Amino acid sequence: MTNELGPESRALLDAAREGLGPDPAAIRRMRAKIDAAIAGGAAGAVAGASAATGAGASAGASAGATAGAGAGLGAAGAAGGALAVKLGALAAAAAAAIVAVVVIARGGGGGGEAVPAPRVEVVADPRAQEQARPAAREALPGPAGAPSAAREAAPDPEIEMAPVRVEPPRPEPRPAAPQPARPQAQAAPQPQSQPAAPPQQPQPPAAAPRRADLAREVELVDQAMAALRRGAPAAALAAVRVHAAETAGAGQLAEDAAAIEIEALCRLHDPGVASKLAAFDGRWPESAQRSRLTTKCP
């Protein structure tokens, strides 16, 4: 019986370790969607606050077992500088677009007192609520590393107040321009959704449109990915072409969109795929997507 791995196995594992993780584009894409979902969750929490009376006793302690050691972590180290810049921009944009939803909730609904205030008070993007996912709500580990049965039987009240969404099918993100987060008059004005705004109305923060742009990009790339997954490459192509049109091909997720386009063309046996691949290699010679494309589109 082998107790230790041989050098070939070690070399193979070393070579594969990074590849078994997400590529930088996936990290960026997931992060953007998480941010969007968090923003939506804040709004959803407020919306559900009045129905969540007494829900405050969320039994804390989600730390798992008592393992101490800091331990060698499977650290990613994958998020590069570009990602940091993009995320920073997103965070700044989101912060700049804050709507005082928590204040509204506390003033308007008695039940809100029983619920911990959402920690992220960002603009309530209705698209983002689509990201509030049931699996996430099922997945809270119990205290002291005892996950499961009891907790599943008695769902965490905090989970219950989250916006309920049924899937499948997953709702397609709405293509329309962002709508006002909430109708309350107390909410910070959002001039972009009020065409008849008075002249003295405060201007939106400069960063806000950038956040909306990225959210839209995420939406389109998400649509395209979903189409690929359900075996609809033509629909995926349509989505990435909308992305290209709206961003003039220079969006923050242009690399992701281009990779999806190539994969879709490949599935359609489009003769133009070779030139697209060449263009992709020229524009992103170090792309982490390239190995995936090699696999998906040999």
Partner 1 sequence: MPSFDEVYTAHVAFVWRVLRTFGLSDVQLEDAVQDVFLVVHRRLPEWEGRAAITTWLFAIARRVAAAHRRRAGGARTEELVEEPAGGDDTFAAMSRAQATATVFSILQQLDEDKRVVFALVELEQLSVPEVARMLDLNLNTAYSRLRLARHAFELAVRAQVKP
**Chain residues 55-114 in contact with partner 1, contact rule CB under 8 A:** 60-79, 87, 91
* Interface with partner 1 in residues 164-223 (CB under 8 A): none
Of the two residues 137 and 210, which places its CB atom closer to partner 1 in the complex? 137
CB of 247 to partner 1, least distance (A): 21
Q: Kindly provide the b/e burial profile for residues 136-165, where b requires at least 16 CB atoms within 10 angstroms of the residue's own CB.
A: ebeebebeeeeeeeebeeeebbbbebbbee
Sign of CA dihedral 125, 223, 84, 244: negative
Of the two residues 256 and 261, which places its CB atom closer to partner 1 in the complex? 256
Of the two residues 69 and 176, which places its CB atom closer to partner 1 in the complex? 69
- 4 contacts partner 1 (rule: CB under 8 A): yes
Measure the CA–CA gap between 105 and 14, rounded to whole angstroms.
51
CB of 82 to partner 1, least distance (A): 13
Selected binder of partner 1 within 51, 57, 85, 139 (CB under 8 A): 139
- 163 contacts partner 1 (rule: CB under 8 A): no
Of the two residues 93 and 190, which places its CB atom closer to partner 1 in the complex? 93
- 133 contacts partner 1 (rule: CB under 8 A): yes
Selected binder of partner 1 within 95, 96, 147, 241 (CB under 8 A): 147
- 285 contacts partner 1 (rule: CB under 8 A): no
Measure the CA–CA gap between 86 and 169, rounded to whole angstroms.
30
- 2 contacts partner 1 (rule: CB under 8 A): yes
Residues 6 or more apart in contact with residue 105 via CB below 8 angstroms? 46, 49, 50, 112
Of the two residues 190 and 264, which places its CB atom closer to partner 1 in the complex? 264
Q: Give the pair of three-digit tokens for residue 250.
A: 């220079």
Measure the CA–CA gap between 115 and 102, rounded to whole angstroms.
11
